[in-house]
Chains A and B, each alone.
Chain A
């Protein structure tokens, strides 16, 4: 005589009763066996309309939820990607003479991007639990020092 099964079923019935009393619209689909199929079925293949809806949703939540400082870093990073892309396309089209100049210009954008990304990670208040020794101010100081070293290298390498 398994007493557990009865307990589970009773508990499940209680939960079903409780949930149905709170919000009759939101039913747990795992419990209800004799229920109508949900009104909005999950489609098998995502259509274009669904993709644009997802992107739109992501963009809205990004704009709404991200702090201003992080948005500032993100803008800077996008700008760096654009500058690096322009140089890369130019090098492919016109040729890589002088190669050291290309490396210098491209690597300053790439390096600055990496430094900005690490600043973003370390200065995000949501991540403060992972960085106990590094305060956002310390991260910013590291960012400045690293950037200065990078600029020094780039200006020397381009000759």
Chain B
């Protein structure tokens, strides 16, 4: 009886823990999630990971890689919103629907991809090609990330290939991903190198005493590692210009139940953070509306302005938090007023909240140059969705009756007085000429 009661308590506490750590975030890009499960990965070994995903309202669809009905595209549109791709431990092919090109087209149509490399380090040619398109250089097969100073003595006392990563120093995606920094992250697998692509979003890297090498070559050391130190990354992502996201995790064992349940492990929290970023649940901002108008008028978004007019520009930006849009507050939103080159680059100040978005506004004087100008709101920050909004307007020059009159310019007063004085003197001259008598004949001098 007591044994039974203890069992109940264990199940209850597990359920409670599971419920508490399940987030309430929902995805902005859709809930159809495809999981391509390699036979080497057993679903029950990753039950916590998949249950967490189900708890966030994703519809999981488990398929094998060689499923003939598997297709990312159906009737010209993408069939799924998110994809988790797990890879086999050998160089087996994934099937024609999961080559690099279909994956890239899936991203182009707005889908998000999470790739879990096999812990053995094998990666197919098509996946290597896909990763290279993103700017990620996958390691050679059978390589391992090794750290002789931070390793888990219980699981790998000799090879030191179960590495302990410290969230305080190795998690570089803060503040978009945050993890309790007193815990540690267990990792066993390989590591990859990154390009210097601006669109990359590095998440988790190795500590500076780690390196990636092939253990079969030499034991415990190598003088030509694939990548070493803080240049070795184990989790990295990219956000494409259409805001589709792809993340590569260099070993699927990081998400296993074993890793989640280890003592003091932050893997579960980290996995939630990674999947939330990948599947567009966090770090998503949206430009709700843009309005520009002439100061002191009512008409919004006119097509034509005039040089040197006062123009008011307002933009509304929202952020997706948990399950709704809230105002997004930042102090570095800028507006460019551009014709080939930016004539102005102005800071937008947050002036208030309108509905579920924050209003950013500025007022400026149109430059003294006519032409076709663009209001360009270009807000690209690492980890957040990109905002790139362009509105084109015409700036015409002064109409013939819009110039300042002379009497409104104090500098012109002498010239106006000269006009008046000359005309008055002229009239006086006319009068005197007409009324002066006939000419007297010049007198001759006589002696």
| Contacts from A to B (Cβ < 8 Å) | 65, 67-69, 72-73, 76, 79-80, 83-84, 86-87, 90, 94-95, 97-98, 100-102, 104-106, 108-109, 112, 116, 125, 140, 144, 147, 151, 154-155, 158-159
Number of interface residues of B (CB under 8 A): 26
Query: A159–B418 contact, CB under 8 A?
Result: no
Contact between chains at B406 and A158 (CB < 8 Å): yes
> Contact at B405–A69, with CB atoms within 8 Å?
no
Across the interface, do B412 and A112 meet the contact criterion of CB distance under 8 Å? no
| CB-based contact B412/A86 at 8 Å | no
Task: Give min CB distance, A7 to chain B, whole Å.
Answer: 33
Could you say which residues of chain B place their CB within 8 Å of the CB of A90? Answer: 414
Cross-chain contact A104 with B419 (CB below 8 angstroms): yes
Chain B residues at the A interface, C-beta cutoff of 8 Å: 403-406, 409, 411-412, 414-416, 418-419, 421-423, 425-426, 429-430, 432-433, 436-437, 439-440, 442
Given contacts A67-B440, A125-B439, is CB(A79)–CB(B409) below 8 Å? Answer: no
User: Which one, B404, B419, B440, contacts A105 given CB within 8 A?
Assistant: B419
Contact B419 A158 (CB under 8 A): yes
Q: Known pairs A67-B442, A151-B419. 9 more at Cβ < 8 A?
A: A67-B439, A79-B425, A83-B418, A87-B418, A98-B404, A102-B412, A108-B418, A154-B419, A155-B419
Of the candidates B412, B422, B436, the one whose C-beta lies within 8 Å of that of A101 is B412
* Assembly CA distance A106 to B429 (angstroms): 19
Assess whether B415 is in contact with A147, with CB atoms less than 8 Å apart: no
- Would A80 and B422 be within 8 Å (CB), given that A98-B406, A105-B416 are in contact? yes
Which residue of chain B has its CB nearest to the CB of A126?
Answer: B442
8 Å CB contact of A68 from B416, B422, B436: B436
Task: Give the distance in Å from the alpha carbon of A51 to the alpha carbon of B418 in the complex.
Answer: 35
The distance from the CB of A31 to the nearest CB of chain B, in whole angstroms, is: 24
B406 / chain A contacts, CB cutoff of 8 Å? 98, 100-101, 158-159
Contacts of B411 in A (CB 8 A): 94-95, 97-98, 101
**B403 — which chain A residues lie within 8 A by C-beta?**
159
Candidates B404, B412, B419; contact of A108 at CB < 8 Å: B419
A143 to chain B, nearest CB (A): 9
CA distance A104 to B419 in the complex (A): 8
For A70, give the chain B residue with the smallest CB separation. B439
